[in-house]
Amino acid sequence: MARKDLKVLEAIASLKNSNHRDTEDTEKVSFKLENVVPWGRSMQEYVRMFDLSPDDLKLKILDCGGGPASFNCEMNRQGYKVVSCDPIYQFSADEIVQRIRDTCQKIIDGVRVTYDSFVWQDIQSPEHLGEVRMAAMNKFIEDFPVGIREGRYLTDELPVLSFNRSQFDLVLCSHLLFTYSDQLSIDFHLASIVEMCRVAKEVRIFPLLVHFSGETSPLLEPIINNLHELGYKVEIKQVPYEFQKGGNQLLRVRS
Ligand SMILES: C[S@@+](CC[C@H](N)C(=O)[O-])C[C@H]1O[C@@H](n2cnc3c(N)ncnc32)[C@H](O)[C@@H]1O
């Protein structure tokens, strides 16, 4: 085992022994679609959330936790190469559509209640948000069966991915890590980021806020410190996208 891998395992083990909540109950249960709130963003949003340059688009990209986003579909239609992985890809398109139908209105209602925590500019209202998200998710649903056959949508799950070391140039992870800091432990975050760094030269994570509270994730600082200690290059970068107020930064991690 490489020296760096050993250091990573030791760091994660010591975090497990720290006083952060142990998430064995939440993280070891089998994955259930009813626990997922499928909510997919478009390629245009990904480009701004991750500050993707024209050259970035040409890279071998993994969209980790891609869910029902239309990024893969739209990129593929424009001739770019993206693989998306997510545990929901084990379900059929019909099952995912049903789950979207069951949750969509609830999300919009939730956004209405927390109206002031969003920037209503490009997306003008909770109703408009529903239309924009459904347009992206409909593109995903149409593309999903073809993308499964082409190996563009793979069932895979953090914190352990089945990809080879350096198989990708860039991993993108949107609205999973940090967003669910209230449900996913610090050891899960660290192990997931280290794993994404194993499969690509660079990892970008967006946003750095916790979902409903809109606060910067309390895990951000300790995670950055741990990654520095492990020898990773870490940078917080401003991006030209802000829907959740204050959600206009990404975390960039490189080996
Ligand atoms: C809020 S959605 C974000 C979807 C997409 N990235 C976007 O921004 O439009 C979060 C996604 O993370 C996926 N997910 C949950 N646990 C995961 C894990 N352990 N590894 C990878 N993806 C996971 C969920 O299935 C869901 O599709």
The structural domains of the chain, with segments of one domain joined by +, span 3-17+25-254
Nearest to 165 by CA among 204, 203, 200, 205: 200
- Average of per-residue pLDDT across 10-35: 52
Q: Is the CB of 242 under 6 A from ligand 1?
A: no
Q: Is the CB of 157 under 6 A from ligand 1?
A: yes
Q: What's the pLDDT at 68?
A: 98
pLDDT tens track for 189-208: 999 999 999 999 999 999 99
- Judged against a pLDDT cut of 80, whether residue 218 lies above it is answered with yes
* Per-residue CA distances from 98 to 33, 64, 147, 206, 207 (Å): 10, 22, 19, 27, 27
Kindly list the strands in the beta sheet with 61-64, ordered across the sheet, starting from the edge strand earlier in the chain.
Answer: 153-154, 82-85, 61-64, 168-174, 200-206, 249-254, 233-238
- Average of per-residue pLDDT across 127-151: 97
Q: Whose CA is nearest to atom 15 of ligand 1?
A: 65
- Average of per-residue pLDDT across 116-134: 96
Fold for the domain defined by 3-17+25-254:
Rossmann fold (3.40.50)
* 5 CA from centroid of ligand 1 (Å): 26
* 254 CA from centroid of ligand 1 (Å): 22
- The larger pLDDT score, comparing residue 25 to residue 60, is at 60
Percentages helix, strand, coil for the chain (3-state, rounded to 5) are 45, 15, 40
Ligand 1 atom with the shortest distance to the CA of 188: 19
Q: What's the pLDDT at 177?
A: 98
Q: What's the pLDDT at 37?
A: 84
CB 218 within 8 A of CB 209: no
Chain Cα centroid distance, residue 148? 19
Ligand 1 atom with the shortest distance to the CA of 63: 6
Ligand 1 atom with the shortest distance to the CA of 179: 1
* 152 CA from centroid of ligand 1 (Å): 16
Please state the pTM of the whole predicted model.
0.91
* Site of tokens 């064995």: 24
- Judged against a pLDDT cut of 80, whether residue 23 lies above it is answered with no
Q: Is the CB of 84 under 6 A from ligand 1?
A: no
Q: Is the CB of 174 under 6 A from ligand 1?
A: yes
* 144 CA from centroid of ligand 1 (Å): 15
Alpha-carbon span 93 to 149, nearest angstrom: 13
pLDDT tens track for 46-59: 999 999 999 999 99
* 3 CA from centroid of ligand 1 (Å): 31
Q: What's the pLDDT at 9?
A: 55
- The larger pLDDT score, comparing residue 38 to residue 139, is at 139
CB 199 within 8 A of CB 159: no
Per this entry, what is the length of the chain?
255
Q: Is the CB of 143 under 6 A from ligand 1?
A: no
Q: Is the CB of 158 under 6 A from ligand 1?
A: yes
For residue 173, the cross-strand partners are 205
Q: Is the CB of 156 under 6 A from ligand 1?
A: no
Q: Whose CA is nearest to atom 23 of ligand 1?
A: 65
